[in-house]
């Protein structure tokens, strides 16, 4: 068995899944475990991070986001540990139990299926947003902290928009190995600006219950990914048309 798959399975054994599931529900489909993944596993993920640094695509949308991204297409080719985590059957089952949903990995055509986000220059950030699903179903985001040498915080507003509920703000450091899971249509969240001389790198893994997307929404999603994340060449280029098989 791949050591990553083995280590993930052992990390899951240490979790009280039912208790975590209750917290997930109480927090309106949001939960986290600080420094959950063991250092040896994180070290292999960070080795992938360093390998793909030449492929970082920087983007800047005034008043909304600034930072760097590496798409699933590059990770499939160059980041074996990250892909092993994404493809781990035990991990998928763990997430399905926490969410209570029949989760699947995103299609290989989705550059966001697994992706790295680099905050490396002063002011790198992303403003408040939902991880809106363009699929026919909800989309669930897993965020894993990999490099955390920053004053940036993941700021989340739980229960936003729920009648009769006052939003609760949570501010988190995403230390290496920290695991965060949420329903992208429900969690209003942001990353606060990076300070000088700081660095923050996080991994996101996306899951859906229905992987279908209308052609129009696929186009809109690809345009958004090109402009805001990975660049037109990555999203619409040769590799995107023939990506390596991602979900298995």
**Residues with Cβ < 8 Å from 172, sequence gap 6 or more?**
32, 153, 154, 155, 156, 178, 180
Binding-site size, Fe ion (CB under 5 A): 1
Is 7 or 206 the residue whose CB approaches Fe ion more closely? Answer: 206
Binding segment for Fe ion (CB under 5 A), chosen from 22-30, 37-45, 125-133, 236-244, is 125-133
Burial-class residue 40 by CB neighbours within 10 Å (0-12, 13-18, 19+): exposed
Nearest distance from C-beta of residue 15 to Fe ion, angstroms: 23
- β strands within the chain, DSSP E: 30-33, 57-61, 65-70, 104-105, 114-119, 125-129, 139-149, 154-158, 168-172, 179-183, 188-191, 199-208
Binding segment for Fe ion (CB under 5 A), chosen from 1-9, 69-77, 131-139, 213-221, is 131-139
Nearest distance from C-beta of residue 189 to Fe ion, angstroms: 6
Is 126 or 213 the residue whose CB approaches Fe ion more closely? Answer: 126
Name 147's bridge partners: 201
In angstroms, the CA 248 to CA 245 distance is 7
Binding segment for Fe ion (CB under 5 A), chosen from 20-28, 59-67, 124-132, 213-221, is 124-132
Nearest distance from C-beta of residue 154 to Fe ion, angstroms: 9
Is 124 or 131 the residue whose CB approaches Fe ion more closely? Answer: 131
Is 28 or 131 the residue whose CB approaches Fe ion more closely? Answer: 131
Instruction: Compose the 159-198 pattern: x for residues touching Fe ion by CB under 5 A, - for all others.
Output: ----------------------------------------
SS3 of residue 12 by DSSP: helix
State phi, psi for 135 to the nearest 5 degrees: -80, 170
Binding segment for Fe ion (CB under 5 A), chosen from 3-11, 29-37, 63-71, 129-137, is 129-137
Nearest distance from C-beta of residue 112 to Fe ion, angstroms: 10
Nearest distance from C-beta of residue 67 to Fe ion, angstroms: 11
**Containing H/E element for 95?**
helix 89-99
Residue keyed to tokens 């509920």: 165
**Residues with Cβ < 8 Å from 48, sequence gap 6 or more?**
75, 78, 79, 80, 81, 82
Asked if 131 interacts with Fe ion (CB under 5 A), we say yes
The binding site for Fe ion (CB under 5 A) comprises: 131
């Amino acid at each position: 068995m791949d050591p990553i798959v083995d280590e993930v399975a052992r990390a899951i054994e240490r979790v009280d899944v039912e208790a975590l599931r209750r917290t997930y529900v109480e927090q309106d489909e949001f939960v986290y475990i600080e420094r959950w993944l063991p250092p040896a596993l994180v070290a292999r993920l960070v080795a992938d991070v360093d390998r793909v640094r030449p492929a970082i695509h920087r983007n800047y949308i005034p008043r909304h986001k600034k930072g760097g991204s590496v798409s699933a297409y590059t990770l499939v080719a160059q980041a074996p540990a990250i892909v092993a985590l994404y493809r781990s059957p035990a991990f998928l089952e763990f997430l399905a139990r926490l969410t209570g949903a029949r989760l699947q990995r995103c299609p290989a055509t989705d550059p966001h299926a697994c992706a790295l986000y680099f905050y490396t220059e002063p002011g790198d950030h992303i403003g408040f947003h939902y991880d809106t699903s363009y699929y026919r179903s909800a989309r669930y985001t897993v965020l894993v902290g990999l490099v955390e040498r920053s004053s940036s915080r993941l700021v989340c507003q739980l229960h936003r928009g729920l009648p009769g509920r006052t939003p609760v703000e949570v501010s988190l450091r995403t230390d290496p190995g920290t695991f965060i899971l949420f329903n992208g249509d429900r969690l209003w969240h942001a990353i606060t600006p990076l300070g000088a001389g700081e660095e923050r790198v996080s991994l996101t893994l996306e899951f859906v219950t229905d992987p279908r997307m209308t052609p129009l929404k696929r186009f809109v999603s690809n345009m958004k990914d090109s402009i805001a994340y990975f660049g037109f060449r990555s999203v619409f280029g040769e590799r995107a048309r023939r990506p390596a098989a991602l979900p298995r």
